[in-house]
Amino acid sequence: MSDLGMGDVEQLLRNALVPVEPPERLSERLERTLSEVTDAAAGELADWELEIGDPRNWARPVIAATALGVAGASLAVVRARRHAKKKDTHGLRAIEHSLEDVLGQVRKRLDG
């Protein structure tokens, strides 16, 4: 057996499991990619004309709507973390601000 005491093991685990912040470049790249996916999905939905009689044409808009929801929500979380880091806002307020940003971006894309 080992000579490590319980306190030593706990300290080793604490040191090993310290949260690591990703580099700023990675966060910027992730935000840019999510923004591009959100824009592309919104554009796909804006260009789509609903043909109710043929459900075979529904696959692309369903996939675009799913991508828009996932990428948009992820983008809102990434932006909320950035706002919280800058000490502008925290918690739900940061998420609310970033959701408003993302929804505004999607509305612009769908309208024009």
- Averaged in consecutive runs of 10 residues, what is the pLDDT profile of the chain (112 residues)? 66 79 83 90 77 72 88 84 69 73 77 70
Tokens of 45: 């939905």
Question: Which pLDDT value is given to residue 33?
Answer: 92
Helix residue ranges, H only, 1-111: 6-16, 24-47, 59-85, 91-111
Cite the beta strand spans of the chain per DSSP E.
Answer: none
Amino acid identity, position 70: V
Integer CA distances (angstroms), 44 to 15, 49, 87, in order: 47, 10, 36
Question: Which pLDDT value is given to residue 50?
Answer: 59
Is-above-0.75 flag for pTM? Answer: no
Question: Which pLDDT value is given to residue 51?
Answer: 58
> Domain coordinates of the chain in residue numbers?
23-111
Question: Which pLDDT value is given to residue 103?
Answer: 78
Question: Which pLDDT value is given to residue 49?
Answer: 65
